[in-house]
Chain A
Amino acid sequence: MIHADGLTKHYGSLVAVDGLSFSVTAGETFAVIGPNGAGKTTTLKLLLGLARPTSGRIEIGPDARPPHDPRARVGLGYVPQRVEFPPARTAAEILAYFAALRGLPPEAVGGALARVGLADMATRRASELSGGYAQRLSLAQALLGDPALLVLDEPTASLDPEATWEFRTLVENLQREGKTILLCSHLLSEVERVADRVLILVRGRRAALESIRDLRERQMSATRLVIELGDGQDGGRGVLERAGFACQVLDSRRLVIDGAGERGVAALDLIRDAGIPVRSFELSRPTLEELFLSVVRGERLS
């Protein structure tokens, strides 16, 4: 559905995107994340045909056309981060304009509004719509003509938690319909919830491209057990090290061992069998944000 190969974009002496290659398959939800200035916006502009690459190529759709070809954009719907629709215009009138541009009949408007749960808001003016409803209207606009590829640029960045949840639910429904979705976001919780794969950009380059499943496995394998002992950590540490556990001392009472699940239970059993009182224990798992930051920092150091 999307194929980028050696994509490079220069703005004068600034290299915004540097030799970026990735592919997105049909039906996949693909997230692009990265710190500020990483090249997310430029990548998105190249994908939408708003900018042309300095070198390399990007193709979208089943016919593999470059996005600056209007024919390629027939199968593409775009939801910007925030768009201000004409305030005096009703939701139906706003969609009617975009439907006409796509050569669609007026009936397409009702269908698009219904898909985002705005069927009863057709006569509501844009100025009367809340942020969440306005963003749904933006999604309805993107769904006109039923494009196979949806590009969402930080769609929930300006929404409150409830509107965010409702919008994500809509996106999940579209995933189930088999839409290919490219999501640009800095909200890792959003990416974690909806994406299949994630591309991490740092300084315009691909720092990592991983599936969310692999990230979760890494997250699990990096899980640590923190044990607080009643009589200080020395006794417990000796017991565990003799049994082959690598221990890390946090302070006078607390120990940390790598791994969770059966390994953690076994460690706790050993300490208890040795008669050492355990005051408390907890699992410490790196968040997706920490994994993301470790990739970003690693790339920056390199």
Chain B
Amino acid sequence: MTGPRGNPFARIRIIAREEYRRALETRWLFGFTALFAILVLGLSYFGLAQGREVGFQGFSRVTLSLMNLVLFLVPLTGLIVGVGSVAGSGEALPLLLAQPVSRREVLLGKYLGLGAALTAAQALGFGGGGVVVAFQTGSDQIAGFAALTILSVVLGWLSLATALCLASLFPDRLRALSAALLLWLGMVVLYDIAILGATAMLRGMSLQVVLVPALLLNPVDLVRVLITIAVGSGALFGPTSAVLVRFFGETGGILLAMGLLVVETVVPLFIALRVFRARDW
């Protein structure tokens, strides 16, 4: 359904700009930018502190260390920020929905604005930290770091779409946040434990049959595999490396993985749009 005056894209842009501006005003954008930059610089500088050495390390070490933190932090950030912008936002959301704008425009505007803010935080944080590391150590292995940054951004958009889906399903902020935290815990911790258990129980079955489909279903694992392969550290997967590198290390596998990440973003966003449009606020 289109709105009354002007074109819907203009209204989506206005709402997106407002969300972005609120992210600036509430300072979470600055906070995450600083956090990402500190992580890059800290991991690079103190990465070998256990060996009583400090000093900037190259991108190869930084990327792999950073990956595990990013896979924890970015989905959590996206989920919390996305849920907070819809669920339990007091009178602000009803006031917006009472304007002559369609609900689809409102949700898409919020998604694009929040996504742009999260992307800016990641780009500035990782980019700023990366520039310092590159000046100190050179640009060797920078492609892996760039892949981490890009996949982190993709994971951010995916988490936001999931968050908007949850917030549309559970307009009560506490319930929506609880659902988001449970989902996050499931994606970053419980899922891997379940897969490990399943592979142990299904010993003897081909890895492709169990592991590859399981990795495809969890975006966090999918991003982990893609970054690891991009850094050229596929051997870290141990005996499974041959399977994973063969599957995800070729153009077809990468395209399939990226396609799946897009699907895992679009599907929750589509559900969010359907639910948000139909429900009472």
Chain A interfacial positions (CB closer than 8 Å to B): 45, 48-52, 69-71, 73-74, 76, 78, 80-84, 86, 88-89, 97-98, 100-103, 141, 151
Contacts and interface: CB of A to CB of B under 8 A. Distances in A.
A153 B91 CA distance: 11
Contact of B99 (A52, A82, A88, A102): A102
Contact of A101 (B90, B94, B100, B280): B100
B15 A101 contact: yes
Given A70-B100, A101-B15, 9 more contacts: A48-B98, A49-B97, A51-B280, A51-B281, A70-B1, A70-B102, A76-B100, A80-B91, A83-B90
Given A73-B100, A74-B4, A84-B90, A101 B11 contact: yes
B203 interface: no
Given A86-B25, A88-B25, A78 B98 contact: yes
Chain B residues touching A, majority SS: loop
A7 to B, nearest CB: 14
A83 B93 CA distance: 10
A49 B4 CA distance: 15
A97 B13 CA distance: 11
Contact of A103 (B6, B94, B280, B281): B6
Interface string B241-281: 00000000000000000000000000000000000000011
Given A83-B92, A86-B22, A97-B14, A50 B97 contact: yes
Contacts of B3: 70-71
B280 A69 contact: no
Given A51-B281, A89-B25, A100-B14, A73 B91 contact: no
A66 B197 CA distance: 54
A86 to B, nearest CB: 6
A70 B4 CA distance: 6
A61 to B, nearest CB: 11
A145 B94 CA distance: 19
B100 A71 contact: yes
A50 B91 contact: no
Contacts of B1: 69-70
A62 B190 CA distance: 57
Nearest to B281: A50
The 8 A-B pairs of least Cβ separation, nearest first, read: A103-B5, A51-B280, A103-B6, A78-B98, A73-B100, A80-B91, A83-B91, A74-B4
A101 B97 CA distance: 11
Report, as a range, how many residues of chain B touch the other chain.
20 to 34
B18 interface: yes
A102 B116 CA distance: 23
B92 A101 contact: no
6 contacts: A50-B281, A71-B4, A84-B92, A97-B14, A101-B100, A103-B4
A8 B91 CA distance: 24
B95 interface: yes
A50 to B, nearest CB: 5
Contacts of B11: 101
B100 A48 contact: no
B101 A101 contact: yes
A96 to B, nearest CB: 10
Interface string B68-104: 0000000000000000000000111011011111100
A85 to B, nearest CB: 9
Contacts of A69: 1
A49 B5 contact: no
A78 B98 CA distance: 7
A52 B98 contact: no
B2 to A, nearest CB: 8
B18 A97 contact: yes
Contacts of A84: 90-92
A126 to B, nearest CB: 11
Q: Which of A52, A78, A81, A102 has the most B CB atoms < 10 Å from its CB?
A: A102
Contacts of A102: 5, 99-100
A103 B14 CA distance: 10
B11 to A, nearest CB: 6
Contact of A49 (B10, B14, B98): B98
Interface in B1-35: 1-6, 10-11, 14-15, 18, 22, 25
A81 B101 CA distance: 21
Contact of B100 (A50, A74, A88, A89): A74
A86 B23 CA distance: 11
B91 A101 contact: no
Contacts of A73: 4, 98-100
Nearest to A145: B100
Contacts of A48: 94, 97-98
A45 B95 CA distance: 11
Contact of B101 (A50, A52, A70, A141): A70
A83 B95 contact: yes
A51 B94 CA distance: 10
A97 B11 CA distance: 10
